[in-house]
Copies of this chain bind each other. A is one copy, B any other.
Amino acid sequence: MNVLVAKNHTSGGDTSEKKICGVLYGVGLGPGDPELMTLKAARLISTAGVVAYPALVGGDSLARSIAADLISADAVEVVVEVPMTVDRRPAQAAYDRGSAAIAVHLEAGRDVVCLCEGDPFFYGSFMYLFARLSQRYQVAVVPGVSSMNAVAARSGRPMVARNEVVTVLPGPLGEDDLRARIRAADSVVLMKVGRHLGKLKRVLQGEGLLVDAVYVERVGMAGEVCVPLGEAPETAPYWSMILVTKGADPWL
């Protein structure tokens, strides 16, 4: 069923005792609409014996909710509860615990399918598990549709063509830094808008780009908002985005 063959893993100092470990799959789920999952993701999830996923403290998990219809009732679930704090240490400790819990299954020869919102390696928390486990175990990453591609599709704004440059900027960057980088690119994706919405609006307005910017939250999910940035709500959730397409190249 799985494409990859688990590599041999030598346990402890006794080289005569070899065992076959499971494979860890980091599976991108796409931006939120379950139909934007890949066929490969759907196959791996629906046949998984062990499923792992990040969750807020308390257990709410967007990743699990996207994949919910595919998870087998018999599957063992490993919940990695990650506290959202500015201090990195509580989250680091959570990933340490999550990695240890996953490793128990891998050591026992069981594959683990880790559910990842969007694409696992594009601002995804999977890379923290990858950093902890990829030296010891075989890890296969299944890419997913990134939210930035979904935002361009949803808003009907082609992102880049020909020799254009696109830059992806996290909202927390400083105002001067943002301004210079926005000026230098043909298209700009602003991630993690959240409480930085006011600052980002101000910078884009100053650059005369308000008319070229679209604001999107919860793309493809219940409660989706997709409006010109000038009509954006006053407050934005953490995972909201802004797409700026200057359209310097007439796509004709």
User: Which residue on B lies nearest to A184, using beta carbons?
Assistant: B181
- The distance in angstroms between the C-alpha atoms of A36 and B44, with both chains bound, is 12
Beta-carbon contact of B38 and A145 below 8 Å: yes
* Residue A15 is within 8 A (CB to CB) of chain B in the complex: no
Main secondary structure on A side of the interface with B? mixed
State which of A6-14, A74-82, A162-170, A198-206 sits at the interface with chain B. Answer: A162-170
**Chain B nearest Cβ from A66, distance in angstroms:** 12
Q: Which of A134, A158, A184 has its CB near the most chain B CB atoms (within 10 A)?
A: A158
A149 touches which of B33, B127, B146 (Cβ 8 Å): B146
Task: Kindly state the interface size class of chain A when it binds its partner.
Answer: 35 or more
* Residue A119 is within 8 A (CB to CB) of chain B in the complex: yes
A123 touches which of B33, B43, B150, B160 (Cβ 8 Å): B160
- The distance in angstroms between the C-alpha atoms of A203 and B56, with both chains bound, is 43
A157 partner residues in chain B, CB cutoff 8 A: 121
Beta-carbon contact of B42 and A39 below 8 Å: yes
**Chain B nearest Cβ from A207, distance in angstroms:** 17
**Chain B nearest Cβ from A114, distance in angstroms:** 13
A144 partner residues in chain B, CB cutoff 8 A: 145, 149
State which of A135-143, A210-218, A230-238 sits at the interface with chain B. Answer: A135-143
Beta-carbon contact of A122 and B160 below 8 Å: yes
Q: Taking A150-B143, A161-B123 as contacts, is the C-beta distance between A43 and B35 under 8 angstroms?
A: yes
- The distance in angstroms between the C-alpha atoms of A26 and B214, with both chains bound, is 20
Known A30-B38, A124-B158, A144-B145; further 6 A-B contacts with Cβ < 8 A = A35-B40, A122-B152, A130-B158, A141-B153, A143-B153, A160-B168
